[in-house]
Structure 1
Amino acid sequence: MYVVTADQVGSRVDIDRSAAMQAELQGAFGDRLLLPVDQTAGDEVQALTEDPDTALSLVLHLARDGHWSIGLGVGGIRTPLPDAVRKAAGPAFIAAREAVDTAKRSDGRFALRAAEPPAGTRPPADVEALIRLLLVLRARRSDPGWEVADLVANGRTQKQAAATLGISDAAVSQRLKTAMWSIDESARPALVRLLAELDPDRR
């Protein structure tokens, strides 16, 4: 199982963003979560999923927003599940708490902890480092780069993206190259596989 715990950065001097992010994540990923996204301790949001692709997507979504320290915990959870994430418990939740505390002082404001990594898998620290590299790469992407990347990610061809934006096909290609879209696209499936290996329930 995968628990994502995100703590708002600078909440004492900023508006409370947790309720809005809770609704945003629920709208985008609700059908892939085991329980609704929850608001836990004050300005924290938390989500629970059994799908490694959804776990990575949650991390990427929160990181792109730019206002969160993000912890990803992998491991078992106590069953039966309660009716709210904040009431749930288990090694994955403990791992997520340790991860978000570490994320507050880490590059990319992200950390990963695995409570019970199966023998023979890649060390969780290696997976954490690779995800952090992707986060840093995406953080450097310009608004025009995101504009094109979002269209392509949602199924548009480069030609269709060019028509939508009113720019040339060559301009779309250059934006995608500058945004390092091909690296992003190839890295994500590999990271999902590595996350799947860390979950003892998927072995």
Structure 2
Amino acid sequence: MFVLTIDQIGSRSAADRVPDLLELLRAVPTVLPWERSVGDEAQGVVQAASDVVDAVLLCLREGGWYVGVGIGEVERPFPPSPREGRGSAFVAARTAVDRAKRMGERAPLAVEGPDGAAEAEGVLALLGRHVMARSEAEWRILDLLEPGVRGTQTAVARSLEITPQAVSKAVARAAWNEELAVRPAAARLLTWADTEPGAVG
């Protein structure tokens, strides 16, 4: 099982952004729902590794968040709220978000748990660098692309009234195809860590 603890960067000098974060993550499936945990922090419990990847990259794209992913046990029966949850995954998520605050120039995320957590963190951090570096113009293009659909770049170029070459260059510059190829690898590493002894959720 995966617990995500997400803390607002610079919360003492900025407006409360937790409601916006909860709206951003609303479409990401959870076992225990996304909720404010304490102060300018939110938490959720996720079962599928691919959903963890989605949540992490959404937060990094939005910016302004420290993201901690904890892998381990979540005690059953599940409580109605993650605020009442117990288990090693919650402890790991707290350690992870605290470590994410010390990442310096790296993507502000950390993954804590059994063997495989460090490897998953490394892949997510590489993905995060690309996600965080994209411009608004690149995102306007990427948000319209349909992965695996033939002719989608031409259709996007037409809808944005730009050339297909401009779309192709933006896709290459943003490492979009590389991200699509690497996301399953990140999920696989998270799953591996989640199946290690001591991580049974």
TM-score, length-normalised on structure 1?
A: 0.90
Cα shift at 1:55 = 0.7
Q: Are 2:122 and 1:125 aligned?
A: no
Which consecutive residues of structure 2, in runs of 5 or more, have no partner in the other structure?
Answer: none
Q: Which runs of 5+ in 1 are unaligned?
A: none
2:5–2:68: 8 Å Cα contact kept in structure 1?
yes
Corresponding residue number in structure 2 for 1:152: 145
Q: Tell me how far apart the structure 1 counterparts of residues 133 and 79 of structure 2 sit (CA, whole Å).
A: 40
Instruction: Report whether the alignment pairs 1:185 with 2:189.
Output: no
Q: Is the 8 A contact 1:196 1:202 kept in 2?
A: no
RMSD, aligned CA = 1.8
Correspondence 1:104 to 2:101: yes
1:20, distance to aligned residue in structure 2 (A): 2.0
Give the whole-Å Cα distance in 2 for the aligned partners of 1:159 and 1:15.
40
2:31 corresponding residue in structure 1: 34
How many residues are matched? 194
Deviation at 1:125, TM superposition (A): 1.7
Quick check: 1:23 aligned with 2:23? yes
How far is 1:4 from its partner? 0.8
1:124 to 1:35, Cα distance in 2 relative to 1, 3 A? closer
Deviating beyond 6 angstroms after TM superposition, the runs of 4 or more aligned structure 1 residues are none
Of the three residues 158, 161, 185, the one matched with 2:156 is 161
Tell me, in whole angstroms, the C-alpha distance in 1 between the residues paired with 2:108 and 2:55. 14
1:77 to 51, 74, 81: 74
Per the normalisation by structure 2, the TM-score is 0.91
> 1:127: how far off?
2.0
> Equivalent pairs: percent with the same residue?
36
Partner amino acid, structure 1, of 2:58: H
Alpha-carbon offset, residue 49 of structure 1: 0.9
Q: Which residue of 2 aligns with 1:2?
A: 2
Which residue pairs with 1:87 in the alignment? 84
Query: Offset at 1:159?
Result: 1.5
* Distance across 1 between alignment mates of 2:36 and 2:23: 10
Change (3 A) 1:47 1:138: same
Q: 1:101, 1:141 → 2: CA distance?
A: 26
1:8 and 1:68 in contact (8 A); partners too? yes
Which has the larger helix fraction?
A: 1
